[in-house]
Every structure is written in C-alpha cells, then in structure tokens.
Structure 1
Amino acid sequence: MKVSESTRGVLYILAAAFFFGSAAPLAKLLLTNIAPVTLASLLYMGSGLFFAGYWLMRRTFFPANHAREAPVERCDLPWMAGSALFGSILATITLMVSLQYTPAATAAVLLGFEAVATTLVATLIFHEQVGNRIWLALACITASCAVLTWDPTSPFGFSLGALGIILTCFFWGADTNISRHVSGKDPIQLVSVKGISGGITLTVIALILGQPYPEPPLILAGMVVGILGFGGIMTVCFLKSLRVLGASRAGALFSTNPIFGVIVSLLIFRELPEPGFIIAFFFMGVGTWLLVSEKHSHLHTHEPLRHSHRHTHDDLHHDDHIHGPEAPPVDKNGFHSHPHWHKQEEHEHPHRPDLHHRHKH
C-alpha cells in the first residue's frame, strides 16, 4: 500500500518530535560535565560531520539515489545562513544555558511552545494562513507554558530558566519559517552545511569564552546526541515534513515532542513532576490534538511557478509537466527531482501550506 505524501509528512514530523524530545533530557544530563556553549558546538559539529560524510558517500557510490533530491543552489545560501544563525547558534546556546536551571520534565513540556512561536512568526511575518481551530490550540499550549513558567519566588514572578526556553522556541520558530524556503532541497546537504557552519561558529564562541572541552568519551557522547536529536536525524525528518505540511502545521505537530521528552526525563532523572505539571500537560495534550486534527480546504489559485524539488507525478500538481532528455529517471516509488514549471491553475482539495500552497486567502 502506497503511503500518501500528507501521511508521509505527518510520520516524518512525529519521528522528528521523538528524536528531539528524547535528546533534550540527554543534553541536560551531559551539561553536568560539559559547559553549555561547548556542548552546543559538539551537537552541531557532530551532526554536520556525520551527514557531510553520508552525503559524500552517497554522491560517490550511489549517484542514482543522490540525484533524487534537488541540490542546494546559490539563491538558497541566504536562507541557510539565517537558519544556521537562529537555529544552530542563538537557539542552542540559549537552550543549553536555560536547561541548567530548569527541571528536565518541565523543560520538555515548555519546548512545546515552539508550535506557538512558529505559528506567530508564520502568520505575522510570512503571512501563512491559519484558522480559529489552530489559534485555540495555541492558546491551550500557551496556558500550559504559563503554568510551568510561574515561579512566585522569583523577583519577576517567572522562572528565568523557563523564560530562556520560551526564547529558544522563538529562535527555533524563526528557523522553521526560514527553512521552509529551502525545504524542497536535499535535506542531507542542508543539515551538513547547517551543522558544520553552526558547529564552527559555536566552537569559536566557546574558545573565546574560555569554556573547556571534556574528555574524548564525553565529546563523542555530545556528538552522538547531536546526530540523533538536534541538527541531525531530527532535522532531516523535520525538513522532509516541512516541504509537505508548511511551517505552522509542521511546528504544530512537532509540539508532541514533550510526550517523549517527559518519558525520557522521568527515566533518567527520576524526578517527580512539579505540582502544576499535570495541569500543564493536560492543556498541552488538548492543544496538540486540536492541531493534529485540523483540516483545510477551499477553492484556490496556483500562480505560475518554477522550482526544483523531489516529486512524483500522481499528485494534483505534477501530472502535466514535460520532461526533457536531461530529467533523471524516477525511482521505484515514482519520485525524482529536476527544475520544472507549474502553469497557472485553479482547483479545490484538502491542503496545507506546502511547497505548492503558500497562497493568500
């Protein structure tokens, strides 16, 4: 049975949520022996080097597989630079510092606020359309985070560590919306460039701050966590989902990551949840359900468009374009990648703001 692109996108984002949710408490565990900026550099350097090696191996020994994804072009570089700045550098440094002052289970749920941050950036800056159902869901998630950030003993009434994680979510929300502009390109190449560039920058910052590097086993552990949950497999899955679901929907489904983070946190740290945790987790669950079950359909117009990305020809958008002799053959699942044109078209069907539905409403 062939899996639809929409279903495939949901599965990819749930996999990304699993890897990220599991990696956050592991990063907190490593922070007991590794300085925060040093750990941030290891996370991204590990993912960058691993996937750069994979990209070179695929290009050398499996050229047919390599050609199925659209390569990065010069016009993509500004978007990639912005993604590295907000996602690899600013967000990771802020998170590593904040995790030192926040219980692991609480941090795991707070990271669900990324759905709110991503949607706010998507609607206010990139004008992505969302409905009342999504805003209600985001209100539930915001309520959940407000319960967890409240700290009557703090001079400001809120835990600074928790507020740092909220700021991290806004950085990642910006990263997600920037990344959607290159989500149609080869995710392995994107993760390689983002990881290495972010890792080098973070290494320089760590050295300037005088933060030491630990023993080789801990260096390896930090890099493995990065390969799995920060710049690595998680990001590859996220980018593949982003091209299908759009920024706000992908960010919304990604908000399920606290479920995995809480489970791993309880297994590692044996921490009993704070009094407000159950209430916060309930609001987070309601918000996530509203987001996952959202549907959207209306008559819409596609403007003429030329782009390059991995696609198949049995959908509603790639069944009529012409192939020249330079177009690569399709794989066993009917996919290939090459530059192609879309003519203007008007139709109605259920859709999300993917590569072909970033239209105005």
Structure 2
Amino acid sequence: MSTRHNAAYTALLAAALFGATTPLAKMLLGALSPFMVAGLFYLGSGIGLGIGIVFQRLFRTAREQKDQSHIRLAEVPWLFGAIAAGGVAGPALLMCGLNTTPAAASSLLLNLEGVFTAILAWVVFRENVDLQVFLGMVAIVAGGVALSWQPASAGMSLGALLVVAACVCWAIDNNLTRKVATNDAMMIACLKGLVAGSVNLGLAFLLGGRLPGLFNTASAMLTGFAGYGVSLVLFVVALRNLGTARTGAYFSVAPILGVALSLAFWPELPSTLFWIAATLMAFGVWLHIRERHEHPHTHELLGHNHRHRHDEHHQHTHDFEWDPAKPHSHPHQHQPVTHKHPHFPDIHHRHSH
C-alpha cells in the first residue's frame, strides 16, 4: 500500500475515533454540563497521551532521545494559536451556541468546519487544489448536510452564529497545527489536551459544576483519550502527509461514522437521508483517494526533523548506525532538486503552482 493511501486511511481512522465519541458520550455520561464533558474529554486526552509519552521515552535509546524532534521557539506561536483557537475558543463558542440552537441545526452547521478549513488552506496558506479534490470536498460536505438536514431548523439565530464562529476557530486550529506537524504528534496532542481540558474544567467549576462519580469521570476521560487524543495524533500525522484541506475533508466524514455507531447501539432502520449522505461521502472520499497530482516541481534547501524512511526525498548520510528497514528520526537536510512524481501538499511539497 502506498504512503499516500496510508495517509488517507490514517485520516479516516482519526475521523472514525472522533465520530465514535458522540454516541459513546451519550451512553456513558448522562446529564453532565457541556463544559464538564469537554473538560474531562480533553483532560483524559492530555493525561493519557502524557502517560504514553513517558512510557515511549523509557524504551528509547540514548540516540533516539537525542534525535527526537522538539518544538522550536519559532513554532511556539503557531502551537499556542492552535490551542487557543481550537481547544479554548472553539469549545466555548460551541457550548454557548448550543444553549439556544436545536441539535439538528447545530449538526448541520458543524459541517462548515471542513469548508472553512479548506478555504483557509487554499486562500490564505496557498495549498494547491484541483477540480477533483474540490468536487470531493463538495460531495463530502453535501453528505454532511443531507445527514443532519431538517427544514424546520433553518435560520440563523445568535446561537447559530456562535456555532459558525466555533467552526471558524477549529478551521484556524487545523491550519495552524499544520505549521508544527513535523514535530512529535503525541506531544502536540498532549499539550492541546492538557491546556484545553484545564480551561474547560475551570469554566465548568466557575459555573457551579461538580465532578461526577468515579465511574463516569473515568469513562469520560477514557472516551476523550480515544476520541480526542488518539484521534488528534492520527490527524496530525495525516496533516504531515496530506496537507490541511485534504485531511479536513477526510475528517468531515466523522458525523456519519458516529451515526453508524449510534445505530449499532440503538438499532433502528436508517433513514433515506442516511443512505444519501453515506453515498455522497463515499463518493467524495473516492475522488480524494484516486487523486493523482503530478507535475515537475523544485524542492528548495530544507532542514527539519521528523520520522522518515529513506526514499527519493531522503538520501542523506548518517553519523550513527541505523536500520534501513525501520523509520527513524533525526535532524536532516534536503538538498535542492527538481523532479516529477505524484504528490500531496505534505511537509516536503509546499511549493507554489
């Protein structure tokens, strides 16, 4: 299986984990305040990944510890901007909007996250797009609209505008996270979880909330670890290999995966709109997976640190022993080269068109 397809399936797995969060929350958590739910989910994500990072480092060699990528000072503003937009502002705006917006209308509006993510990537960050990718995005978003469409819920109240603002925040988060995607994905997701969890729990306590019982607290944090933590790690890895707009498009299928899981927990005959949505989203994903973007392009001199194998873009030498069969991480430099091959706007292909 090609690296390009692996990246697509990584993004889809991230979407599946995130999509499973909603029905699992409904089954496990009961009537907790929205800020408490968000806080426990994010905190479970941060703590779970933090434990994973500790265990990971215990089994690394001294060479692997030395060569592990670290967030550079110049990247810190991008990371904190992503955390502030997606982990703090986004959930706060969503929770405020949900107070006065019907659930069906909120689900419909949340599909705008993928749209805003793609628009920012294409217009502001100059990520390339061709007709096939654009049509795939349109099909996926149309599927999301069909999935949550209820004519009676149409309208744009203040609450609805707040939900739209939350989508803008998450779109900013997705595009800023791409700027630091070469770093350790677990560390990025861990920091997001710890900061966002602490802020949301603080808001919940300020509004008079209290922690639920031990079982519900543990269940919420475990759900958050999988649906927010592991999902975000996979999302960052996909960003690294696919670019922002394409990863956002794959991630936009999360709602239908959540609905499918809900039907497994609470069996009922799926509606006609469900099958229309599933067909549109499957068609959109197919258009993205079969994309073949190829043209002569030039790589400028580039130095960075990320996990890699030796391929046509990684032909450097080493001053230490290494196993060619295993991916490894260390600071390395790419020499200027002009060539032609199929590619995505990944960390090595951010050239202009």
TM-score, with normalisation over the residues of structure 1?
0.85
2:71 corresponds to which residue? 72
Distance, in Å, in 1 between the alignment partners of 2:269 and 2:140 is 22
CA contact (8 A) 1:112 1:284 kept: no
Seen in structure 2, the aligned counterparts of structure 1 residues 332 and 103 have a Cα distance that, compared at 3 Å, is farther
1:102 maps onto 2:94 in alignment: no
CA contact (8 A) 1:110 1:145 kept: no
1:353 maps onto 2:345 in alignment: yes
2:129 corresponds to which residue? 130
Q: How many residues get paired?
A: 350
* Residue of 248, 254, 257 corresponding to 1:257: 254
1:316 corresponds to which residue? 312
Distance, in Å, in 2 between the alignment partners of 1:68 and 1:22 is 35
CA contact (8 A) 2:307 2:328 kept: yes
Q: Which runs of 5+ in 2 are unaligned?
A: none
What is the Cα-based RMSD across aligned positions, in Å? 3.0
2:304 corresponds to which residue? 307
Seen in structure 2, the aligned counterparts of structure 1 residues 263 and 165 have a Cα distance that, compared at 3 Å, is farther
Q: List per-residue Cα deviations over 1:245-290 (Å, max 9, x = no partner).
A: 1111222222332342121122334466566444444433333322
CA contact (8 A) 2:86 2:170 kept: yes
CA contact (8 A) 1:308 1:339 kept: yes
CA contact (8 A) 1:311 1:335 kept: yes
Seen in structure 2, the aligned counterparts of structure 1 residues 280 and 170 have a Cα distance that, compared at 3 Å, is farther
Partner AA of 2:213 in structure 1: E
Distance, in Å, in 2 between the alignment partners of 1:343 and 1:240 is 24
CA contact (8 A) 2:91 2:166 kept: yes
TM-score, with normalisation over the residues of structure 2?
0.87
CA contact (8 A) 2:147 2:256 kept: no
CA contact (8 A) 2:104 2:149 kept: no
Q: List per-residue Cα deviations over 1:320-357 (Å, max 9, x = no partner).
A: x243x3xx643573322122222221111000000100
Distance, in Å, in 1 between the alignment partners of 2:291 and 2:235 is 19
Identity %: 38
Q: List per-residue Cα deviations over 1:285-329 (Å, max 9, x = no partner).
A: 33332223222111111111111111111x12111x243x3xx64
1:47 maps onto 2:45 in alignment: yes
**What does residue range 256-295 of structure 1 map to in structure 2 within 5 Å?**
256-270=253-267, 276-295=273-292
Seen in structure 2, the aligned counterparts of structure 1 residues 237 and 184 have a Cα distance that, compared at 3 Å, is same
1:344 maps onto 2:336 in alignment: yes
CA contact (8 A) 2:29 2:216 kept: no
Q: List per-residue Cα deviations over 1:99-141 (Å, max 9, x = no partner).
A: 784259x94x875554323211101211101011122222333
Deviation at 1:188, TM superposition (A): 1.6
Return 73-82 or 264-273, whichever deviates more.
Answer: 264-273
Q: List per-residue Cα deviations over 1:138-185 (Å, max 9, x = no partner).
A: 23334344445655445x536988776655443332222111111111
Deviation at 1:69, TM superposition (A): 4.3
Q: List per-residue Cα deviations over 1:220-241 (Å, max 9, x = no partner).
A: 11101110011x1111111112
**What does residue range 1-361 of structure 1 map to in structure 2 within 5 Å?**
3-29=1-27, 32-63=30-61, 69-95=68-94, 101-102=102-103, 107=107, 113-147=112-146, 151-154=150-153, 157=155, 167-230=165-228, 232-270=229-267, 276-313=273-310, 315-319=311-315, 321-323=316-318, 325=319, 329-331=321-323, 333-361=325-353
Return 93-102 or 292-301, whichever deviates more.
Answer: 93-102
Q: Which runs of 5+ in 1 are unaligned?
A: none
Seen in structure 2, the aligned counterparts of structure 1 residues 223 and 275 have a Cα distance that, compared at 3 Å, is same
CA contact (8 A) 1:150 1:159 kept: no
Distance, in Å, in 2 between the alignment partners of 1:94 and 1:330 is 48
Return 265-274 or 132-141, whichever deviates more.
Answer: 265-274
CA contact (8 A) 2:144 2:277 kept: yes
Seen in structure 2, the aligned counterparts of structure 1 residues 69 and 262 have a Cα distance that, compared at 3 Å, is farther
Partner AA of 1:102 in structure 2: A
Distance, in Å, in 2 between the alignment partners of 1:272 and 1:125 is 43
